[in-house]
Amino acid sequence: MKKLFACIILILSFSIAHSQKPRARDLGIPFTGTTGDFNAITDVLGVEVGYSTIISGNGKNVIGEGPVRTGVTAIFPRGKAKKFSPVYANWYSLNGNGEMTGTTWVTESGFLETPIMITNTNSVGVVRDAVLKWYVDTDWYKGENWWYTYPVVAETYDGFLNDIYGFHVKEKHVLEAIGNSKSGMIEEGNVGGGTGMMCLGYKGGTGTSSRVLKMGKLTYTVGALVQSNFGAKRNLSIAGVPIGQELKDTLNYVFNAPPTSRRQEGDGSIIVVIATDAPLLPHQLKRIAQRVPLGIGIVGGRGSNGSGDIFIAFSTANEKAFNRDDLATVETFPNDQLMPLFEATVQSVEEAVINAMVAAETMEGINGNKAYALPHDLTIDILKKYNRM
């Protein structure tokens, strides 16, 4: 029976994998490091991700009616079934023209007590309120009659394609993302909070990747999930190749904006969530989060003035660390041994961004604005030209 069950799981995994959109490695793009089974943040045991994707309408933007190109992403560090199960965490901002709520308490307490939600800039409030109501409805705090919490909700701006001032994200979409949260293979590209996002001159969105590290007798996993909406096309680099320069006259986005628009090339944002099962304390997770910009820089991010580049890292180890009453005994990783985790963070962020772009499809939004998908064939040809395939 066990062998039969294992075969069924393998068949299902194979089927799911082959129903996914192409990923960067499917195109032959080379990356450093060994991935987990799903090459996703969900390779860290317990982590679940869910989406609500909202797409409707075409043509001229009518505020409140659309077109709509937006959504919500939910990340549960230990899965939603565990309810209140805090993890050690910390965060870092490369450029603060953006928002991630609840981070002051993460720094102060050292714990992330909530799921991480990601949406568009103007929907942070409704997502935060919906999460609070979900806590009440599901008894997230397990019968405690007095509690307070600060939901972590991050954002990037999708007003290039989406009727962002129409406030189309509702409570039902937050609940959908939460309800859809799962482990295993997850979607990328035009999904969830990343639905209407652009990246480095092309269509961006949601991407993920992971790295598995064998350190002595132990094995650890680092996973990244990104909501990519940043960067100028001229800086796009893949596998060390100046793809943006090579494609500077190819598939440039269409932006039907008034002359008074203040949008500058490179404006945007990126939210990055890093998960690991390595036993790291909050100050060490701050160090992990501080390495995220290195991965973004490899692909062409520059932390522009108009960008909200905000990152959070958590560890699923030390499950019994949070305790309101008693002393807790925890394990901690030696600082002298952190370098492989730093490298894994940089590598997984780099690949997650490119995965988001490879999976994303061309999208037309408000007023005929259009973000083109990264052209796979041309990208492969350029990589071959530079002997990087």
Q: Position of tokens 């390495």? A: 291
Residues classed as catalytic: 269, 307, 309
Q: How far apart are CA 81 and CA 72, in angstroms?
A: 19
DSSP letter for each residue of 154-219: EEE--TTTS-GGG----HHHHHHHHHH-BSSS---BS-GGGTT-EETTEE-EEEEEEEEEEETTEE
pLDDT confidence bin for 265, thresholds 50/70/90 = confident
Query: Burial level of 214, CB count in 10 A (0-12/13-18/19+)?
Result: exposed
pLDDT confidence bin for 3, thresholds 50/70/90 = very low
Closest CA to 352 of 136, 230, 189: 189
User: Three-class SS of residue 270?
Assistant: strand
104: its two tokens: 């002051």
Using only C-alpha atoms, the chain has a radius of gyration, in whole angstroms, of 20
pLDDT at residue 174, as a whole number: 98
pLDDT at residue 21, as a whole number: 85
Tell me: the pLDDT tens digits for 318-376? 999 999 889 999 999 999 999 999 999 999 999 999 999 999 999 999 999 999 999 99
Q: In this model, does residue 11 exceed pLDDT 50?
A: no
Tell me: the pLDDT tens digits for 275-297? 999 999 999 999 999 999 999 99
282: its two tokens: 């909050």
Residues pairing with 271 in the sheet: 227, 310
252: its two tokens: 């440039």
Q: How far apart are CA 320 and CA 317, in angstroms?
A: 9
pLDDT confidence bin for 229, thresholds 50/70/90 = very high
Q: Which residues contact 256 (CB under 8 A, 6 or more apart)?
A: 367, 368, 369
336: its two tokens: 């002298």
pTM of the entire predicted model: 0.94
Amino acid residing at 174? V
Q: How far apart are CA 387 and CA 389, in angstroms?
A: 6
Q: How far apart are CA 185 and CA 23, in angstroms?
A: 12
Tell me: the pLDDT tens digits for 305-316? 999 999 999 999
Indicate left, alpha or beta for 256 from its phi (over 0: left) and psi (-120 to 50: alpha).
Answer: beta
Tell me: the pLDDT tens digits for 36-83? 999 999 999 999 999 999 999 999 999 999 999 999 999 999 999 989
pLDDT at residue 18, as a whole number: 43
Q: How far apart are CA 17 and CA 253, in angstroms?
A: 30
Closest CA to 224 of 332, 346, 358: 346
64: its two tokens: 């409140």
Domains of the chain: 33-259+266-323+332-385 (3.60.70.12)
pLDDT at residue 7, as a whole number: 46
380: its two tokens: 């492969």
pLDDT at residue 290, as a whole number: 98
